[in-house]
Structure 1
Amino acid sequence: MQPSESAVAICKIMVGHRIKADEMGLRDDVKNAFLGLGSERAPEEFDSGVAYAVEQEWISEESNRLKLSRTGFLIGSN
């Protein structure tokens, strides 16, 4: 899975967990949901997806939490 695909999946998971724009979710909860979507997913794909999403400003990292931006919310809602 490409980092961009992982990033979209992460945004979709966050929206699915009812995280709205400018709200936070626990990184571990999002990671567990990401890894639970398929046995072919690896922790490295989650990490590269988070890095890509941060670079694109879809999410931000704050300690052990991920904050969904407005753009990330829109991406995750589609």
Structure 2
Amino acid sequence: MDTQKQVLRILDEVLSLDGRSASFTRDTALLGAIPELDSMAVVSLITALEEQLGISVEDDEIEGATFATVGALSDFVQARLP
């Protein structure tokens, strides 16, 4: 499974999007565009990504641009995969 598909699956699960993420593309805006993705959801999302994909994210690596689009988040995750 490719990274973007994994990220979309986890987004759908963590944000309870009920399958809405299936229509998301790399250019789909996330932070500020999806009401479910607030600051608390970002923390839950990072935790889920770490646990399910075996990555580690340091606090100083987290910035708004990472969550700007599906593509930005997927690239961020891809860069941390073993």
TM-score range, shorter chain: 0.3 to 0.5
TM-score (norm. length: structure 2): 0.36
Q: Which has the higher contact order (CA 8 A, sep 6+)?
A: 1
TM-score, scaled to structure 1: 0.37
Q: Which has the higher strand share?
A: 1
The structure with the largest alpha-carbon Rg is 2
